[in-house]
Amino acid sequence: MINLYHKISKETSKNITQLYSTSFSFGIKLLDKSIHDAIYSIYGFVRLADEIVDSFHDYPKTEMLLEFKEETYKSIERKISVNPVLHSFQMVVNQYSIDIKLVDKFLQSMEQDLDDIHYSNDAYKDYIVGSAEVVGLMCLKVFVNGNETLFKNLEESARRLGAAFQKINFLRDVKADYQELGRTYFPGVDLDKFTRIEKLKIEADIQDDFKYALEGIVKLPTSSRLGVYVAYRYYFSLFKKIKKISSDKLMEERIRVPNTKKLYITFESIFQNRFNWI
């Protein structure tokens, strides 16, 4: 019956991914089927931790995150958990030999979100590493499937792609993060007076991340290249929409990419990949 529990755990993480993120769900479907469950499991783990700090406002978040953290380490050591999301995650960690330091760094960044904080430049960079870059490295471990030489060659590109995604999330959610959660991620930026110049500096940084990341995407194995490229294109499309609006408007509404646009990007990317035009 343990195989049934394995299956239920993987399905739980898959359902979490599909309900929380249409963009990543579309991208994962374009990965080779053999790695679907692993990427769903990583996303499910990340999403659950993020929900604790972002949504459980009427509950003891600090205690709950500590319990989640302790259970994460226990599940990896025991190779089983009664929490289906953690169970599916530990299977991936153990199967693909994901460095526990990556898990440590991610959970550390989640702990930082428990408190209202205005980030310095160094703290901002460190948070990006923990909340985004290490998640990209976890996924890269799955993509290279034990090829450590390829992992080392693509490590910086994976970090930069994760960083780009996170910084765009910060821009997209800047209103909610500031007004509802009391968070200001961008160092030296007064969001009560968010200027065009400040927005342009952030966008230039993201543009640089995207450029470096694409150089790595084209070198990924065929089992993962298309799915990662589509996720890249989704976020780049969102980035272009954000660039077109003023800093004032960004503080008033959450920018989205419609599903019709995502479908267009998907089919165009499939065509480009088939003819090696990426």
Say which CATH number the domain at 207 has: 1.10.600.10
pLDDT tens-place string over residues 44-70: 999 999 999 999 989 999 999 999 999
Instruction: Give the domain extent around 202.
Output: 2-274
pLDDT at 38: 98
Greater pLDDT, 49 or 257: 49
pLDDT at 181: 73
Does 94 have pLDDT greater than 90? yes
Q: Dihedral of CA 128/132/133/135: which sign? A: positive
The H-assigned helical ranges of the chain are: 2-20, 22-29, 36-55, 61-78, 84-95, 100-112, 121-128, 134-144, 148-172, 174-179, 196-217, 222-244, 247-250, 259-274
Average pLDDT over residues 1-11: 95
* Total count of domains within the chain: 1
The two tokens of residue 86 are 């953690």
Instruction: Report the candidate in 104, 118, 113 with the shortest Cα–Cα distance to residue 70.
Output: 104
pLDDT tens-place string over residues 161-186: 999 999 999 888 888 777 777 777 88
Give the span between the Cα atoms of 223 and 200, in whole angstroms. Answer: 36
Greater pLDDT, 139 or 198: 139
Give the span between the Cα atoms of 170 and 128, in whole angstroms. Answer: 10
Whole-number mean pLDDT of the chain?
A: 92
The residue assigned the tokens 């509802």 is 180
Q: What is the pLDDT confidence band of residue 99, given thresholds at 50, 70 and 90?
A: very high
Greater pLDDT, 234 or 179: 234
Does 86 have pLDDT greater than 80? yes
Greater pLDDT, 66 or 122: 66
Neighbours of 209 (CB within 10 A): 21
pLDDT at 173: 87
Q: What percent of the chain has pLDDT over 70?
A: 99
The residue assigned the tokens 């898990």 is 103
Question: What is the reported pTM?
Answer: 0.93
End-to-end C-alpha distance for the chain, whole angstroms: 44
